[in-house]
Amino acid sequence: NMLIVDFGSQVTQLIARRLRELGIYCEIHPFNAMTPDFLTRFAPQAVILSGGPASVPDADSPRPPQEIFELGVPILGICYGQQVMTQMLGGRVERGDHSAEFGRARVTASDLRDPLLDGWFEGGDEQVWMSHGDHVAELATGFEVLATSPGAPFAIVADRARHFYGVQFHPEVHHTPRGRALLSAFVRLAGFTGDWTMAAYRDEAIAKIREQVGEGRVICGLSGGVDSSVAAVLLHEAIGDRLTCVFVDHGLLRKGEAEEVVTMFRDHYNIPLIVAEESDRFLTALDGESDPEIKRKTIGRLFIDVFQDKVAEAGDAEFLAQGTLYPDVIESVSFSGGPSVTIKSHHNVGGLPEKMGLKLVEPLRELFKDEVRALGSELGLPPSFIGRHPFPGPGLAIRCPGEITREKLAILREADAVFIDQIRKHGLYDEIWQAFVAILPVRTVGVMGDGRTYDFACALRAVTSVDGMTADYYPFTHDFLGETATRLINEVRGINRVTYDVTSKPPGTIEWE
């Protein structure tokens, strides 16, 4: 069990990612959560101190508790972590007013025998990513230098007797090409074998759910997306029919989606499922509304009402399961956290209120998105389901700019199905982060056969992205676009014009609203 102490670096999550890739289970906790009691309970086998934006010479800069150095386990300090360890163990850190070092640098090993450098420093020097203002000026007692760089005479330092290591650079980022080998050397010298696998995780997670839930009953909201689906299947393995799933059909789903969810969960997995077919209620509430934020709020509010009704129907549940993921859980350490602007107020199944009086079960809260997918495979969910594009909670409502009508929704569903079919047929689905059609609030004139048409225009949207935060439009070939436009106009009644949206994010957003 590896403990990562967070001092607020932008890249702390990457340390966890790299370790998990090495088959090591680890958790990130903020520096100010390190009470002696916490350390006893967590009982880490090794500790990594992250980087951070603070400056060690400042009197109020963040510190781990001194006890962390008395646990008798290997410690790796990265950047700020190296500096704070040095200072606390009797060395000295200098403010780097004139000697900041940012970007690529080469470090040269002065001692290749050390296990930390083993298998890493093949040629005696390596490229690393530096990003620091301050630097170590005097080593702590018991430490020696293992490697230097032109800007950092203490690029790697070690107290070999205690297995304390400090690196001035960031081994967790991609710009340190062999950083993974350094982390790997550290975990090996700390005695980890790297045997953390999804199969092991699944068994652990099932045991944890059983322990938490006991003989209780659990309700789980299904959205049709990967997270809630994986959570539901995992819970069902753990507690069987003491799980009830609730699926709200708000009338804003894609073609065939509600049926797919029912087939998969009720028929295939035999999970007790309540389907709330409430499209009338949602569409009536949205009638005449064209403001995107009001659409979202209306849908979010109604969703909670409907969900609460269904939970009451399901009887005596004590627990509510949510597919919360690790990135939502990590308490971020923020030093300069000003308020950020709300671009869109997201609504999804995860946003159910605490006032429902149910205890939360969050079986995915230790996992990153791709780990959830791996767990889904482990649980036997079909690859086509695991690889599904994300779909927003408000659904087609935000792909129908302007007023939502049943007619427009029906056209949109058909058009979207044709577009996705085209993408699948051309083998492009997995290269694309998200693809959909938006139906535009304008009718345009066309000619078909000998007749005049006056139908809706639509926009195709397909983007590549890593996390949805930034995105670029997908470079379809002209042939693909032409073929898709022809199919849409021929197969979908109500569409007579097709455009392709080539806006990136920023300045655009992925959805149209």
Verify binding: residue 392, ligand XMP, rule CB under 6 A.
Answer: yes
Binding mask 187-226 for ligand XMP (x = CB under 6 A): ----------------------------------------
Which candidate, 205, 243, 192, 200, places its Cα nearest to that of 221?
243
* CA 315 to mean position of chain CA atoms: 33
503 three-state secondary structure:
coil
Least separation in angstroms between residue 195's CB and ligand XMP is 34
Least separation in angstroms between residue 296's CB and ligand XMP is 5
Strands 152-159 and 164-167: antiparallel
Task: Please name the residues in contact with 410: beta carbons below 8 A apart, sequence gap of 6 or more.
Answer: 494
Verify binding: residue 296, ligand XMP, rule CB under 6 A.
Answer: yes
As given in the structure block, the two tokens for residue 40 are 């006893």
One-letter amino acid for residue 165 of the chain = Y
Contacting range for ligand XMP; rule: CB under 6 A; set: 126-134, 177-185, 330-338, 391-399? 391-399
Strands 152-159 and 125-132: unpaired
Verify binding: residue 434, ligand XMP, rule CB under 6 A.
Answer: yes
For the chain, the C-alpha Rg in angstroms (whole number) is: 27
Q: Which is nearer to ligand XMP, 24 or 306 (CB)?
A: 306
Contacting range for ligand XMP; rule: CB under 6 A; set: 31-39, 161-169, 392-400, 444-452? 392-400
User: Quick one: three-class SS letters along 264-276?
Assistant: HHHHHCCCCEEEE
Give the separation between CA 322 and CA 46, rounded to whole angstroms: 31
29 three-state secondary structure:
strand
Q: Which is nearer to ligand XMP, 131 or 434 (CB)?
A: 434
Which candidate, 137, 144, 165, 186, places its Cα nearest to that of 19?
186
Is 103 part of any known ligand binding site? no
Q: Which is nearer to ligand XMP, 30 or 393 (CB)?
A: 393
Site for ligand XMP (CB under 6 A): which residue of 359, 365, 426, 505?
505
Q: Which of residues 72-101 bind ligand XMP (CB under 6 A)?
A: none
Least separation in angstroms between residue 258's CB and ligand XMP is 17
Q: Which residues are tagged catalytic?
A: 79, 170, 172
CA separation, residue 284 to residues 58, 223, 347, 393, 407 (Å): 59, 21, 19, 18, 14
Q: Which is nearer to ligand XMP, 42 or 473 (CB)?
A: 473
Site for ligand XMP (CB under 6 A): which residue of 151, 363, 394, 401?
394
Is 223 part of any known ligand binding site? yes
Verify binding: residue 301, ligand XMP, rule CB under 6 A.
Answer: no
Which candidate, 297, 302, 130, 307, places its Cα nearest to that of 219?
307
Verify binding: residue 511, ligand XMP, rule CB under 6 A.
Answer: yes
Site for ligand XMP (CB under 6 A): which residue of 214, 256, 468, 482?
468
Is 229 part of any known ligand binding site? yes
Contacting range for ligand XMP; rule: CB under 6 A; set: 82-90, 99-107, 324-332, 390-398? 390-398
Is 228 part of any known ligand binding site? yes
As given in the structure block, the two tokens for residue 113 are 């025998």
As given in the structure block, the two tokens for residue 340 are 């950020």
Least separation in angstroms between residue 464's CB and ligand XMP is 12
Q: What burial letters (b/e) apply to 49-84, b meaning 16+ CB within 10 Å? A: bbbbbbebeeeebbbbbeebbebebbbbbbbbbbbb
Least separation in angstroms between residue 162's CB and ligand XMP is 46
Q: Which of residues 306-365 bind ligand XMP (CB under 6 A)?
A: 344, 346-348
Give the separation between CA 187 and CA 2, rounded to whole angstroms: 9
Q: Which is nearer to ligand XMP, 9 or 434 (CB)?
A: 434
Is 279 part of any known ligand binding site? no
Residue given tokens 């322990």 in the structure block: 211
Q: Which is nearer to ligand XMP, 151 or 393 (CB)?
A: 393
Strands 164-167 and 135-138: unpaired
Q: Which is nearer to ligand XMP, 255 or 505 (CB)?
A: 505
Give the separation between CA 275 and CA 210, rounded to whole angstroms: 26
Is 203 part of any known ligand binding site? no
Q: What is the DSSP letter of 263?
A: I
Contact residues for ligand XMP, defined by CB under 6 A: 296, 344, 346-348, 390, 392-394, 434, 468, 505, 509-511
Q: List, as residue ranges, the binding site.
A: 223-229
Q: List, as residue ranges, the binding site for ATP.
A: 223-229
